[in-house]
Amino acid sequence: MKHIFANWKMYLDFAGSMILANQLAEKTFDSEKVQVGLFPSTLAFTEVEKLFRDTDIAVGAQNVVWTPKGAYTGAVSAEMFAQAGAQYALVGHSERRYIFGETDTSVKKKFDACIDAGIMPILCIGETKEDIDNNKREYRLKKQLMSVLEGVEHATKFFIAYEPVWAIGTGEPCDHLIVANIHDMIKAELKSYTDQDIPVVYGGSVDATNVVSYLSHDNVEGVLVGHASTALEQFFPLIRAAEQI
């Protein structure tokens, strides 16, 4: 089973989200082989969720806030997303970390809030180019894992998305052999926190031309796709490719 997660970011407005969602709703694929999750904007979330309720396509939140309710202007909590049908939430995406100033501490709160609300968090981790230049790639990834997973309950289920910051939205994907090595390292590291088999997916300039190179590795259990997930003619081939693995 491979997972294809579509992070629409702020690429699609409400109308654009509904056009793509309706196009996808007409398509069929083998859900025993591929699991698809869509992450629309908060504005489009409820309508997209309504369209895919009780289907093989899941819908998730791009971002959540940890406090369930209260005086938090502009925020939508994990609990509210759960009530609205979210099955997943992205947590710690590099755009949240580096553009919106999220820290390892706030990422942990969001992760825990998702678990409490019954949403499966997809914890995004990734090193910057600078980390690589300073020989800190492994250090960065382990630190991001530790700050969230320390003390995690044994039965907790979640995903890890390995997303090198320098590969996101740049058209400069990380080589699939390097990704497979890093996933081995992440999986070994996860053993210190949980006995669960935690799926690890890759994200960063994935498209129809390179998706098979990633998914053909057993330890790359899916992909998190940004730009190439925002148009049917680019996105549906990814689903088809995953079906063939």
Residues that bind ligand PGA (CB under 6 A): 7, 163, 168-169, 203-206, 224-228
Backbone angles phi, psi at 121, to 5 degrees: -80, 145
Report, in Å, the least distance between residue 153 CB and ligand PGA: 27
Amino acid at 109: K
Give the active site residue among 163, 176, 221, 227.
Answer: 163
Give the C-alpha separation, 61 to 49, whole Å: 10
Give the C-alpha separation, 195 to 156, whole Å: 10
Cβ–Cβ < 8 Å for 172, 141: no
The CA R_g of the chain, rounded to the nearest whole Å, is 17
Q: Which one, 112 or 163, has the nearer CB to ligand PGA?
A: 163
Report, in Å, the least distance between residue 11 CB and ligand PGA: 9
Could you tell me where the DSSP H helices lie in the chain? 14-25, 42-52, 78-83, 94-98, 104-117, 129-133, 137-149, 176-190, 211-215, 232-244
Residue bearing tokens 């998702």? 114
Q: Which one, 5 or 79, has the nearer CB to ligand PGA?
A: 5
Tell me if residue 138 is catalytic.
no
Q: What is the DSSP letter of 174?
A: P
Two tokens, residue 154: 């044994």
Amino acid at 101: G
Report, in Å, the least distance between residue 224 CB and ligand PGA: 4
Report, in Å, the least distance between residue 207 CB and ligand PGA: 8
Residue bearing tokens 């382990």? 142
Give the active site residue among 3, 49, 79, 93.
Answer: 93
Cβ–Cβ < 8 Å for 179, 202: yes
Q: Which one, 79 or 148, has the nearer CB to ligand PGA?
A: 148
Q: Which one, 21 or 228, has the nearer CB to ligand PGA?
A: 228
Q: Which one, 20 or 224, has the nearer CB to ligand PGA?
A: 224
Report, in Å, the least distance between residue 92 CB and ligand PGA: 11
Q: Which residue in the shown chain puts its C-beta closest to ligand PGA?
A: 226
Two tokens, residue 224: 């998190």
Cβ–Cβ < 8 Å for 231, 20: yes
Tell me if residue 176 is catalytic.
no
Active-site residues, by number, are 93, 163
